Amino acid sequence: MKRTYIKDLELGKEILLRCWVFEIRGLSKLKFLLLRDSTGIVQGIVKDKGLIGQISNLSLESVVQIKGKVKKANVKAGLARHDIEVEVSDLKILNKAEKLPIHVNEKAVSSELPSRLDNRCLDIRKPCVKAIFKVQSVIVNSFREYFYKNKFMEIQPPGIIATSTEGGTDLFEVKYFDKKAYLAQSPQLYKQLVAISWEKVFSTNTIWRAEKHDTSKHINEIRQMDIECAFEDDIDIMKHLESVVKFIVRKVIEGCSEELKLLKLDLKTPKAKYLTYREAIDLLSKKGFKIKYGDDFEPEAERKLCSMFPNTIVFTYEWPIELKPFYIWPKDEKNGISGGFDVLYGGVEISSGGQRVHIPDVLIKMLKMKKLNPEDFKWYIDAFRYGAPMHSGWSIGLERLTQAMLGLDNIRECTLFPRDRKRLSP
């Protein structure tokens, strides 16, 4: 008999399931099993005495093969299908599970996060945890869909680099044959070099940052969604970000209704608000927040701004030159204003970007201003000597956007196998 998936079960059909045992309950003469596969959960009812004896040897999360008939039911089993149940006629244990180190069938996630991450292969079996990653899958695929539709080309920048991308020291050094190399902290320089030739590019890639953070919104290995576009300035490129985030949210609402219900979320398409850096500083100051021009935004400031504009993508642009990397265009050098911006959503920063420097002399000047050696960036500077148009771009952290969209307390909740200062396994 061909295997049937739980989502495809039809009333009156004889079926064969291959699944996990999610829950066992019942009396001595009647047993109820909650059975789970990749498509859902269904209740199985066991009446046969011989099968009930087999169930006494079952453990939660054991892998089983079930034969039976689909019956009409009014199941009140929470996560299980409410319309039908399976009357079990045969049960075969394919692989019995040992005692579980954490609960999988808890009604709400209650195990401590470190323990859950230590046993992530079990933790991700929980329907509410799987729901997070279903949403994340839709996010990244919606990002791709949007930019393919808008005639961008997907590129694959290198993950091993010879020079710091952003001029900092927070890089993971690796031994590359007989040379010193680093794990890429951003595809920034490479996507620029492609965009000045192909105009419109995007990428989804892993990057690494050796920052010694230990917070609920930082990890050291990150999935990033980047774009770069020629002939566009900072304002033009921000509009792409507004549009794609709204597009992604709509796709999640359309494609993840069951997951959002499971996560108890009423997700709405966000609005957008554009503030210059100075306007944002003034607004925060008027609300009694202690901040002055020239300060970076601490997490409290980001949360405060977002609270002023609920369910809104908040853009802050025209940041001071000294607060942005060397590759951000000096938009108004006399007044110290750059073409850089940050983007807030759901109380956290989800993106940063801006117009880039595309003139070699200006780039050399900016590198020196940031106390970097232009000789270390010769290959990068030289690329702009051969007809480079103005261009702009940004990046969105996939985990950070997932965290913001779902209102999660910790970014590790939406990272399959987090890498941070304390965690390198599993």
pLDDT at 110: 73
d(CA 178, CA 295): 42
pLDDT computed for residue 79 by the predictor: 84
Indicate if 131 and 91 belong to the same structural domain. Answer: no
- Same domain for 178 and 241, yes or no, is yes
265 phi/psi in degrees, rounded to 5: -120, 135
> Do the domain assignments include residue 422?
no
Per-residue pLDDT at 226: 98
Spatial neighbors of 193 by CB under 8 A, at least 6 apart, are 380, 383
User: Do 152 and 80 reside in the same domain of the chain?
Assistant: no
- Does residue 133 form part of some domain? yes
Question: Which of 95, 118, 143 is the C-terminal boundary of a domain?
Answer: 95
What DSSP element (H or E) covers 117? helix 113-118
Tokens of residue 250, six digits = 């709509």
Q: What is the pLDDT of residue 169?
A: 60
* Residues 82 and 209 placed together within one structural domain of the fold: no
Regarding whether 268 and 136 lie in a shared domain, the answer is yes
Tokens in use for 134? Answer: 């279903």
Q: The tokens of 11 are what?
A: 């009333």
* 101 found inside a domain: no
Task: Give pLDDT, residue 416.
Answer: 97
Does 115 map to a domain?
no
Residues 133 and 66 placed together within one structural domain of the fold: no
Reduced to 3 states (helix: H, G, I; strand: E, B; else coil), residue 230 is strand
Residue 105 lies in a domain: no
Angstrom distances, CA of residue 318 to CA of 218, 295, 332, 335, 341: 25, 13, 9, 11, 6
Is residue 122 a part of any domain in this protein?
Answer: no
Residue 54's domain comprises: 6-95
Give the per-residue pLDDT at 75: 67
The per-residue pLDDT for 28 is 72
Please tell me whether residues 144 and 76 are part of one structural domain. Answer: no
Provide the residue-wise pLDDT of the chain in tens; the chain has 426 residues: 899 999 999 999 999 999 999 999 987 789 999 999 999 999 999 999 889 988 988 999 999 999 999 999 876 657 888 889 999 999 999 999 999 999 999 866 678 999 999 999 999 999 999 999 999 999 999 999 999 999 999 999 999 998 766 655 689 999 999 999 999 999 999 999 999 999 999 999 999 999 888 899 999 999 999 999 999 999 999 999 999 999 999 999 999 999 999 999 999 999 999 999 999 999 999 998 999 999 999 999 999 999 999 999 999 999 999 999 999 999 999 999 999 999 999 999 999 999 999 999 999 999 999 999 999 899 999 999 999 999 999 999 999 999 999 999 999 999 999 999 999 999
Same domain, 60 and 194: no
Residue after which a domain boundary falls, among 77, 95, 113:
95
pTM: 0.94
Residue 114 lies in a domain: no
- The DSSP code for 357 is P
CATH of the domain at 85: 2.40.50.140
| Residue 305 near residue 284 (C-beta atoms within 8 A) | yes
| pLDDT of the residue at 167 | 57
Amino acid sitting at position 253: I
Residues 58 and 142 in one domain: no
Which two three-digit tokens encode residue 94?
A: 């394919």
Check which CATH number belongs to the domain holding 386 and give it. Answer: 3.30.930.10
Total count of domains within the chain:
2
Q: Same domain, yes or no, for 257 and 132?
A: yes
* Residue 157 and residue 17 share a domain: no
Could you tell me if 401 and 408 are in contact, meaning their C-beta atoms sit under 8 angstroms apart? no
β-pairing, 312-317 vs 160-161, is: unpaired
| 227 three-state secondary structure | strand
Residue 112 lies in a domain: no
135 and 405 Cβ atoms separated by less than 8 Å: yes
d(CA 128, CA 79): 10
91 and 167: one domain? no
Length of the chain equals 426
